[in-house]
Amino acid sequence: MLRDTYIEIDLDRLGDNVAQIRKRIGPDVAIAAVIKADAYGHGSVTCAQTIMEHGGDYLAVATLTEALELRNAYPQYPILIMGYTSNENLPHVVKNHITQCIFTEEQAVELDWLGRELGMKPKVHIKYDTGFHRLGFPDGHESIEAIKRICKLEHLECEGIFSHFSLASDEENHRQYNALKAAAERLEAAGCRFKYRHICDSIAAIDYPEFRLDMIRPGAILYGMKSFRKNDLDIHQVIRFVTKVAYIQNIKKGEGVSYNYKYKADRDMRLATITVGYADGYPRNMYEVGEVTIHGKRAKVVGVLCMDQCMVDVTDIPEVRVGDEVILYGDESENAVTFAEAAVKCATNKNELLCRFTRRTPKVYMKGGKPVKVLNALLPDVDELEGI
């Protein structure tokens, strides 16, 4: 390895998580696996294949660029853009057989026109706003009439209709679900045919089995993040974030550490320096709350985090040597800080922590407990596997 700091991505676990979701929902509900934001930091191109081989039906992303990255790697997988694409970019959507979310009649007409021009029939999923107020046709009569007209367009396939939960309360979840279902029923009574009606993200897909309709859009649970409340699911965190000890030193009581000497040693201490900083996606506000795991024991982050390094207190782990493994995020079974624990420590959510990894930090993909692929965005042409 050319860098000691990397994220380890367990493809077996990713596959198992998808299989667990499939087992839970049964064969009749489609899984649109949400792999936006580089598959929540896991690497979308590599993860897509594992997901599709273990029960995924569709890949869902937020932007055209994310869709094109996947399309370049996989000519066949169905891909849905859940977000907005401007008219000037719609030709890329159509030519690349990507399914587009739409929420205006004007864009439907534009896509229908492109379909005719290019001799194709672009697929769309109609976004219906049941309260979130992000994107979508506003719930109501005028929208229903507009969508009826869209369904009649000749060069367009209205494959789906969907909405998104705010997850504000149990009562509000039911109201939003009922609003989407009622709209779909009115449209179907008028001759529209939707293969996929969908509203469930990860949390709703597990906690509200009765809301799954024809498709679910799980993101977080693919990666083992548990935020559902009412039910459990046997899934596991896919990422470990690790580094190695770079330097060890002893400091005296009263001496300062890092910028502004903001931290002052309250006793004689032994410190280990690790080459992980906020530029690697480890949050700067881990200052005063961060903990890492070395030899199965917790060591506190001391001093303000730097961009590329930070210091941890190893006074009570005397066996630590330069080169020893340090776990920043890992499993409970190895006494490591999980994403769930880290999110509480630095007052954010698990998804945001996953999205913070940067291109400097290589990704090592594991299968059967062994590395099978290394992705180093800085050195894409170097085959690092030889060095492992």
Ligand X SMILES: *Cc1c(COP(=O)(O)O)cnc(C)c1O
Distance CA 384, CA 1 (A): 6
3-class secondary structure, 184: helix
User: Which of 70, 82, 299, 301 forms a contact with ligand X (CB under 6 A)?
Assistant: 82
Strands 79-81 and 99-102: parallel
Residues numbered 214-233 forming contacts with ligand X, rule: CB under 6 A? 217-220
Nearer to ligand X, 14 or 153 (CB): 14
Non-local (6+) Cβ contacts of 16 within 8 A are 54, 235, 236
Taking CB under 6 A as the binding criterion, the range among 213-221, 255-263, 318-326, 353-361 that sits at the site for ligand X is 213-221
Q: What are phi and psi of 10, to 5 degrees?
A: -90, 100
Nearer to ligand X, 205 or 304 (CB): 205
Query: CB of residue 351 vs ligand X: minimum separation in angstroms?
Result: 6
Residues numbered 249-288 forming contacts with ligand X, rule: CB under 6 A? none
Residues numbered 117-176 forming contacts with ligand X, rule: CB under 6 A? 164
Query: CB of residue 205 vs ligand X: minimum separation in angstroms?
Result: 8
Residues numbered 351-370 forming contacts with ligand X, rule: CB under 6 A? none
Buried b (16+ CB within 10 A) or exposed e, 182-199: ebbeebeeeebebebbbb
Nearer to ligand X, 98 or 310 (CB): 98
Q: What are phi and psi of 144, to 5 degrees?
A: -60, -45
3-class secondary structure, 101: strand
Task: Tell me if residue 181 is catalytic.
Answer: no
**Does 237 help bind ligand X (rule: CB under 6 A)?**
no
| DSSP string of 108-132, one letter each residue | HHHHHHHHHHHT---EEEEEEESS-
Distance CA 380, CA 388 (A): 16
Residues numbered 25-54 forming contacts with ligand X, rule: CB under 6 A? 34, 36
Query: CB of residue 134 vs ligand X: minimum separation in angstroms?
Result: 8
User: Which of 17, 20, 143, 202 forms a contact with ligand X (CB under 6 A)?
Assistant: 202
Query: CB of residue 215 vs ligand X: minimum separation in angstroms?
Result: 11
| DSSP string of 366-379, one letter each residue | EETTEEEEEE-TT-
| Residue tagged active-site, from 23, 152, 230, 259 | 259
Task: Tell me if residue 262 is catalytic.
Answer: no
**Does 201 help bind ligand X (rule: CB under 6 A)?**
yes
Which residue type is seen at 137?
F
Query: CB of residue 217 vs ligand X: minimum separation in angstroms?
Result: 4
**Does 180 help bind ligand X (rule: CB under 6 A)?**
no
Distance CA 31, CA 54 (A): 11
Query: CB of residue 36 vs ligand X: minimum separation in angstroms?
Result: 6
Query: CB of residue 199 vs ligand X: minimum separation in angstroms?
Result: 9
Nearer to ligand X, 164 or 226 (CB): 164
Non-local (6+) Cβ contacts of 311 within 8 A are 257, 258, 271, 272, 273, 274, 301, 302, 303
Angle, in degrees to the nearest 10, between helices 64-73 and 44-53:
60
Nearer to ligand X, 63 or 315 (CB): 63
- Compute the radius of gyration of the chain from its Cα atoms: 24
Residue nearest to ligand X (CB): 219
| Residue tagged active-site, from 36, 244, 350, 363 | 36
Distance CA 178, CA 184 (A): 10
Distance CA 93, CA 75 (A): 13
Number of residues counted as binding ligand X (CB under 6 A): 10
299 strand-pairing partners: 292
- Active site amino acids: 36, 259
Q: Which residues bind ligand X (CB under 6 A)?
A: 34, 36, 82, 164, 201-202, 217-220
